[in-house]
Structure 1
Amino acid sequence: MNVTLPATDARTRILDAVERIVLARGVAGLTLEAAAREAGVSKGGLLYHFASKEALLTGLLERLAAFIRAEFDKNCARQPDGPGRVARAFLSWAFGEADCSPGDEHHDRAAAVFLAAFHHDPALLDPMRAVYGGMKAALMADGVPPGKAMTVLAACDGMFMAQMFGLYRPTEDELSALRATLETLLEVKP
């Protein structure tokens, strides 16, 4: 039985294939032919959705940005209302309590794609910059003094970079102490 998949399914299969290629061979290993073959579509079918290698990479980064934003919004919604909600969401994410946190497979694949795209063309990260800019703006409007909010953000980003590059791995005691210190910054004094 032949089943024709809707365009969104073909687009998703293509982007999944592009991600696999970039993870396995880097951006240099990505060609239109390789993407079509990996996705199981004709080159014409691929070109219908993505006219170039740059369009494939842009689509991949736009999808990644939308995923990051959705995960962040979902994590924010889990936090209690009030000042510090967004900051607590950042902490929850950085300390591995969210659905997609440092060290989980999806997060690690996203980080690898992020790095490969940056290496190929830093402008490809513009969708990610927009999402992170929105997340930072939400944090700055979160009711936490700006210096404290930026400290939480910088600490979370630092943990992400350490994980992504394998720079160091904090012990459980170090993580507990860091978390306690950051949570102290978020305490609202009457």
Structure 2
Amino acid sequence: MSKGEQTRSRLLDAFQDLVIEHGERAGTLAATADQAGVSKGGLLYHFGSKDALVQGLADRLEVFGAAEEERLSGMPEALEVFLRESVAADQPLDRTYLALLKLGQLDEHQAARDALVRLDDHFLAALTQALGDADLAFLVLRVSDGIYVRTALGGSGVLPPDSVDRILALLASLPR
């Protein structure tokens, strides 16, 4: 990774952390530059506006989503892996997702909403390929959303330990 790419990544990390921890209004250009340890001029070289930072996070999520689609699409156990990985964690994809989710709640950040829809599209494509059924893939995607939200709100302890096993058994019993 070049020095410029490292700086861009630090700026995006700082912006997403500010949004997650303190809300959209805290993610100012000055606060982002300060948190990243970059001058405001350095930030403006890479991201000319707050909208450009939001777009940078959207682009980052697109990269994560495309990689996940590719990884899951060729995996025989994609359903199990996808549901087990739906438990919220403090991973880079999760952090970017959470920041865009907060940003997407505001009318002025359509790019955030679009990025979240594209992530869903990546997951849906991978699950449809793995399951051979678009409707079942959609159901699994929505179930995984529930697992994610539930665990994001209270950690993995908010789900009974065998929840994913029970969901997988139920899905396996459905006719295809």
Aligned counterpart in structure 1 of residue 121 of structure 2, from 133, 136, 152: 133
Aligned counterpart in structure 2 of residue 57 of structure 1, from 43, 54, 59: 54
Say how many residue pairs are matched. 171
Aligned counterpart in structure 1 of residue 163 of structure 2, from 170, 174, 178: 174
How much does 1:165 deviate?
4.1
Write out aligned runs for 1:33-52 (5 A). Answer: 33-52=30-49
How much does 1:130 deviate?
2.0
Counterpart code for 1:116: K
Map of 1:84 onto structure 2: none
Write out aligned runs for 1:89-104 (5 A). Answer: 89-96=78-85, 101-104=86-89
Extract structure 1 runs of 4+ deviating beyond 6 A.
none
Is the Cα–Cα contact under 8 Å of residues 76 and 89 in structure 1 kept in the other structure? yes
CA RMSD of aligned residues (A): 2.8
Pair 1:34–1:104, CA change in 2 (3 A): same
Counterpart code for 1:110: T
Is the Cα–Cα contact under 8 Å of residues 65 and 123 in structure 2 kept in the other structure? no
TM-score w.r.t. length of structure 2: 0.79
Map of 2:150 onto structure 1: 162
How much does 1:90 deviate?
4.2
Distance 1:103 1:138 in 2: 19
Which residues of structure 2 form unaligned runs of 5+?
none
How much does 1:46 deviate?
0.9
Q: Which has the higher contact order (CA 8 A, sep 6+)?
A: 2
Pair 1:152–1:24, CA change in 2 (3 A): closer
Counterpart code for 2:26: G
Distance 2:161 2:131 in 1: 29
**What is the DSSP-based 3-state SS (H/G/I as helix, E as strand, rest coil) of the residue aligned with 1:171?**
coil
Higher alpha-carbon Rg: 1
The structure whose residues are more often helix, as a share, is 2
Is the Cα–Cα contact under 8 Å of residues 91 and 156 in structure 1 kept in the other structure? no
Distance 2:145 2:59 in 1: 20
**What is the DSSP-based 3-state SS (H/G/I as helix, E as strand, rest coil) of the residue aligned with 1:105?**
coil
Comparing 174-183 and 132-141, the one that deviates more:
132-141
Distance 1:135 1:95 in 2: 14
Comparing 147-156 and 57-66, the one that deviates more:
147-156
Which residues of structure 1 form unaligned runs of 5+?
81-87
Distance 1:149 1:24 in 2: 32
Is the Cα–Cα contact under 8 Å of residues 75 and 89 in structure 1 kept in the other structure? yes
Comparing 9-18 and 171-180, the one that deviates more:
171-180
Is the Cα–Cα contact under 8 Å of residues 18 and 56 in structure 1 kept in the other structure? yes
Is the Cα–Cα contact under 8 Å of residues 97 and 116 in structure 2 kept in the other structure? no
Counterpart code for 1:181: L
